[in-house]
A and B are shown apart, each in its own frame.
Chain A
Amino acid sequence: MLPRRPLLPRLRGVNVRYLIDNLPYVASLFGQHVLMVGVSLAVALAIALPLGVVCARVAQLRNIVLGVLGIIYTIPSLSLFVLLIPFTGLGLRPAVIALVAYAQLVLVRNVVVGLTGIDPAIVEAARGMGMTGAQILRQVELPLALPIMLAGVRVATLSIIAIGTIAAFINAGGLGLLLFDGVRSSNPEKIIAGAIAVSALAIGANGLFWLLERRAAQATHTG
């Protein structure tokens, strides 16, 4: 017969003792992380949606805006966080500002792609029937662009979740704390706990938005 093994802490070779022993603490950091990501995403969308609509309409503006957002996207996240400190101090505020900035490229680009990818005959028919610009946007263009816009939201969320771990460095809290503390105190169990929690959040968010995307594609009969 097999010898009795200790129930945990090794799960297929990964030491999860810290995670088990400190579940309430990890859960609270998880909550902080979700809050940080959620607020960033909401603010990012509030900016990206109108910006994307304008960029879809005005071709000249499109290249400039996407160019600038592309440059922001390439700034290393740690330096962007630190750069913001003189203006905003430490904490959640600079973290959200930086995450919003990172999310813009993907979000705006997907709004633009979603809107400009619509068959022009559909929009022409809408205009020809006497719909106003606002009616066309709300009733025709945004619903048809929704699946692609949601794909953008999904990708942006994943990158915000990942970059958000670095925000712990500027006292914004979140799951990044486990990673930084783990490194500082040479505690691999802590690092593993943080990594597992971040992965769970990312996988969960990915699945959720993927489902929404699928449903939107079915509803618009484009996918």
Chain B
Amino acid sequence: MSSIVAEQLSKTFPGEARPVVDSVSFRIEPGEFVVLLGPSGCGKTTLLKMINRLYEPTSGRLLIDGADARAVPATELRRRIGYVIQQTGLFPHLRIEQNIAVVPQLLGWERRRIEVRIDELLDLVELPRAYRRRYPRQLSGGEQQRVGLARALAADPGLMLMDEPFGALDAITRARLQDELLRIQQRLHKTILFVTHDVDEALRLADRLLIMRAGRMVQFDTPLAVLSHPADDFVRDLLSADDVLRRLSLLRVADALRPPAVNEGYGNGSSALTPTDDLRIALGRVLEAGGESLPVVADGQNVGRVTPASIAAALARGERALPD
């Protein structure tokens, strides 16, 4: 887990008049999953590459874990930061195990420790250990990106930079890898900076969204806060914040819970909701049930009910009642 602080970070490429990244400041807490979202060409990749110093900022300061990123040689800094890119960048002439071993080898790990780590990582990204001896092109696109993820995680970095890692995958594979990434994040608590221009992906993954437009940061807040209170029309349009169902999908039944009705039973099974269902699903069920209230069941106990009015109230409040 690493913290990242950017102070007035700017980047102007040589010979260009306008900065590609323009005075961006933010603070990312250890263990946060931050998604950089914005239209193509707004400077997301450039901002990301300044963090592992593939690009040097024209001005401004970057602190990683409180220390200036320029305090150590760039190569040393990068070995402590996981880096995943859309095209995977796997080395085609090296076996999967050799690809995964790159950073541990750069760090001078013992052979034995590397061997053990390779198996651990293949398990973590749910690839068969038999893949160790394969070459990248013998794997599907989704499998290659799993290897890319394993390779970036190899030396257990506190910070992961991911530049549209799932951008080239089909929708089903992408959704599966998003789930995997969330699962891995829940286990490992990395600080993650994830670039995408896919709004659904951003809403799905982010603890906080960092929204960029033409090199500037326009909003940096939780998905729900951004959807409920977009900073301007650009953000509103980018996220289709007027889409009520999209906002509902970020809220939980727990956010719209009313006390149980007196003498209410367990509901009729299939229509009962759980506190972690999202409100979009809940609204659908409520409408199916004729617009009545529906019971909410947790661990076999009737814990309350949702009603059309409670859903509307949760939407109006626009915030989560309970953290996940």
Contact = CB atoms under 8 A, between A and B. Distances in A.
A and B co-occur in one complex: yes
Given A127-B78, A128-B54, A144 B106 contact: no
Given A124-B54, A125-B83, A219-B93, A130 B78 contact: yes
Chain B: number of interface residues, binned into ranges: 20 to 34
B106 A126 contact: no
Interface of B: 52, 54, 74-80, 83, 85-93, 102-103, 106, 135-137, 151-152, 161
B154 to A, nearest CB: 9
B89 A220 contact: no
Contacts of A135: 106
Interface string A81-121: 00000000000000000000000000000000000000101
Nearest to B49: A128
B135 A221 contact: yes
Contacts of B161: 128
Contacts of A20: none
A211 B286 CA distance: 71
A122 B61 CA distance: 28
Contact of B106 (A121, A131, A220, A221): A131
A222 B92 contact: yes
A132 interface: yes
A148 to B, nearest CB: 13
Nearest to A119: B87
Contacts of A127: 54, 78
25 contacts: A121-B85, A121-B87, A122-B92, A124-B54, A124-B89, A125-B90, A126-B102, A127-B54, A127-B78, A128-B78, A128-B83, A128-B85, A128-B161, A129-B78, A130-B78, A130-B80, A131-B102, A131-B106, A143-B93, A144-B93, A219-B93, A220-B92, A221-B93, A222-B92, A222-B93
A20 B151 CA distance: 63
Contacts of B74: 130
A165 to B, nearest CB: 38
A140 interface: yes
A150 to B, nearest CB: 14
Contacts of B152: 129
The 6 closest A-B pairs by CB, nearest first: A125-B89, A130-B78, A130-B79, A128-B83, A121-B87, A220-B93
Contact of A130 (B76, B92, B93): B76
Interface of A: 119, 121-122, 124-132, 135, 140, 143-144, 219-222
B96 to A, nearest CB: 12
B89 A122 contact: yes
Contacts of B151: 129
Contacts of B91: 122, 125-126, 140
Contacts of A130: 74-80, 103, 106
Given A119-B87, A143-B93, A221-B135, A129 B54 contact: no
B141 to A, nearest CB: 14
A221 B137 contact: yes
A198 B87 CA distance: 48
Contacts of A128: 52, 54, 78, 83, 85, 89, 161
A124 B85 contact: yes
A220 B87 CA distance: 18
Contacts of B92: 122, 144, 220-222
B85 A129 contact: no
A129 B153 CA distance: 11
Contacts of A143: 93
Contacts of B102: 126, 129, 131
A129 B152 CA distance: 8
Nearest to B151: A129
Contact of B103 (A129, A220, A221): A129
B93 A125 contact: no
A184 to B, nearest CB: 52
Nearest to A144: B93
